[in-house]
A and B are shown apart, each in its own frame.
Chain A
């Protein structure tokens, strides 16, 4: 069985950053990604990032992706693509289903004492009559189709959810020529940032707050939808129905961390709504309650690509230390820098809740492991 010092599962912003940081200090690392290209969600993010210069603000997501991929290539990070990790066994063995061709798969067993789980998140579903019809899709899936695969999912779209994902994807679909028939939001107010919402309302797109979808029409695929007003107890106001002429429906109802591998490996998970639900508790090194298993990015709580990059860097530095490539003092300098940048990113109005939740994750790790101050 081939052995590495470190295996990173998932090559998005967090995973790439972890691999880059570790490789920079000489760690023998393998990065595994289930797609035909690494980069995760960054590959399709055409919008510019917010914040300060040191967090790559002003740069578009796919360009950050290019920078990270170049850095990883220049350092010589070994990458295994089309590899779907099926499980972590005995804390150090990774089983990978590698797609060799359209019909042929092979199983690879690899070993590493240090494993980073940076598998990101999955989209939440919303169930309504007709929700399994072709043409009902996750907002993230529509974004992949249009921005990365360059395929339009349809001509007329209804968006469910006014979070940032719902707003940004609606705008990008509009830019690509899709007619946006409306955005429904069950809550009384728009949940995403005003700056994203304004770009849409300026174009005359209506955001129906206090509305939800009642039904998707169609037999073989979506041919329309009915939306209706929501009572405070979540029942529908009869007589408030509006017919929407659309041929696809996107669901932007939030995301949840992909915790399957961590759960299977025996890492303790804790629940926090602010982070998207269940996520592994971890310590200052991003190590979970299972020794040698680390987490970074959305897999340990829903945040941003910029925070994922910092968390990946911390995990990478910690593993470089654990494998003897960095002294404790050198590693601490790297980790402390990343934690400082994380504190900046989680500062302010939008980060308050997340900061509290992330601090709770650290405290829970201490409690679960019986660590005393």
Chain B
């Protein structure tokens, strides 16, 4: 089996399926290859939101906003639904000090033109009546969306499968092939050889292993997060709600709070789903390549969620799962061509933003592969930040 394609996309998660879809839309033939199955990794073990309120002011939020705009278009463009709902999000501050920090953050967002507003404790209680009484305030962002990442992956695939896209699941890439000029010419897999002049690495937490085949330095590692699912309930929360501390743990470490919660790097975020279950997160821990959800972390997440929504104490948790987020120390993904290896592209390292930045990542990669000028300035996401770091020792 050796079939020629314009592009080979490695990894069929949210990022890979979006890249494949956008590449086909540009008229290219694409082989989408995954060692397991579509949406089998992080994209089916995550929460279900595309937020602005967890982005940093500047290029981060700009890209996030662009993605949400694109999600709204995709809802019309794709035949299969992926449960997109623009319900906004509420960020809750636990202390007066957090309210002050939050106000600064909101001011910066407003200055960039985004719809953010501060809420006092009464306005907040109107939005979410079941919040604990002692919380001093928070802020609201109207553009935030919820969606089903799992359905999104399949919506991308189903739209173009057989019309330029071939999907190869349970197919593990074992090497990336270069021609005598050092440019990409295909990949070897455990199911045979594929030829193409372009290869896009969308392998998420495994993307470092793909880069290893080329001796490229790519320091991505799994940062694991656990999510709880409640039993079905009458509506007890009406939108995505997260604590302000979530932003702090996302961008910093060493945030001081409840010892159990601190030990497992847990912050509260919660969202209602189509089926009237609530999804409760979350944690961020470096525990390696594993999908087992530690019971101690599960307990810490439950404890933290009950602190904000005391009513949860009387509800049952029916499931918990762990997903591996592709972490990079800079908190910025790489969406880039790799100058050292012509024809090799990377779209990976999104950590918790793989869903939020999903459509725009696919769009940008399709522009890069087609040799066009990207519609956004993405110099911050360039692989060149690792220039000179050389191959891994």
Contact = CB atoms under 8 A, between A and B. Distances in A.
A89 B316 contact: no
Interface in A237-283: 264, 266
Contacts, number: 14
Interface of B: 292-295, 299, 314, 316
14 contacts: A86-B295, A87-B293, A87-B295, A89-B292, A89-B294, A89-B295, A93-B295, A95-B295, A103-B314, A105-B316, A107-B299, A109-B295, A264-B292, A266-B292
Interface string A76-119: 00000000001101000101000000010101010000000000
B392 to A, nearest CB: 29
A268 to B, nearest CB: 15
Contacts of A109: 295
A95 B314 CA distance: 19
Contacts of B293: 87
Contacts of A89: 292, 294-295
A86 B295 CA distance: 9
A107 B300 CA distance: 13
Contacts of A93: 295
Contacts of A95: 295
A297 B295 CA distance: 27
Contacts of A87: 293, 295
Interface residues of A, number: 11
- Main SS of chain A's interface residues? strand
A266 B292 CA distance: 9
The 8 A-B pairs with the shortest beta carbon distances in the complex, nearest first, are A95-B295, A89-B295, A87-B295, A264-B292, A89-B294, A105-B316, A109-B295, A93-B295
Nearest to A95: B295
Contacts of B314: 103
A273 B299 CA distance: 38
Contacts of B294: 89
Interface centre among B293, B295, B299, B314 (most CB of A within 10 A): B295
A95 B295 CA distance: 8
A122 to B, nearest CB: 16
Contacts of B316: 105
Nearest to A103: B314
B168 to A, nearest CB: 21
A87 B321 CA distance: 12
A103 B316 CA distance: 10
Most A C-beta atoms less than 10 A away, residue of B292, B299, B314: B292
A95 B298 CA distance: 11
A110 to B, nearest CB: 12
A105 B316 CA distance: 9
A103 B313 CA distance: 11
B110 to A, nearest CB: 44
A89 B316 CA distance: 20
Interface in A46-96: 86-87, 89, 93, 95
Contacts of A103: 314
A87 to B, nearest CB: 6
Nearest to B314: A103
Given A86-B295, A89-B292, A105-B316, 11 more contacts: A87-B293, A87-B295, A89-B294, A89-B295, A93-B295, A95-B295, A103-B314, A107-B299, A109-B295, A264-B292, A266-B292
Contacts of A105: 316
A135 B189 CA distance: 49
Contacts of B295: 86-87, 89, 93, 95, 109
Nearest to A104: B314
A87 B294 CA distance: 9
Contacts of A264: 292
Contacts of A266: 292
A169 B314 CA distance: 38
A101 to B, nearest CB: 13
Nearest to A94: B295
Nearest to B290: A266
A213 to B, nearest CB: 26
Nearest to A264: B292
Contacts of A86: 295
Contacts of B292: 89, 264, 266
A88 B293 CA distance: 10
A103 B293 CA distance: 26
Nearest to B299: A107
Nearest to A266: B292
Contacts of B299: 107
A148 B299 CA distance: 36
A367 to B, nearest CB: 19
A184 B225 CA distance: 47
Nearest to B292: A264
A290 to B, nearest CB: 12
A261 to B, nearest CB: 12
A264 to B, nearest CB: 7
B163 to A, nearest CB: 27
Nearest to B302: A107
A366 to B, nearest CB: 24
B365 to A, nearest CB: 35
Interface string A171-191: 000000000000000000000
B316 to A, nearest CB: 7
B76 to A, nearest CB: 30
A86 B293 CA distance: 11
A78 to B, nearest CB: 22
A107 B292 CA distance: 19
Nearest to B319: A86
A26 to B, nearest CB: 30
A344 B393 CA distance: 60
A107 B299 CA distance: 10
B57 to A, nearest CB: 41
A93 B299 CA distance: 15
A61 B292 CA distance: 38
A315 to B, nearest CB: 24
Nearest to B316: A105
A2 to B, nearest CB: 15
Nearest to B293: A87
B91 to A, nearest CB: 30
Interface in A321-342: none
A103 B292 CA distance: 28
Nearest to B291: A264
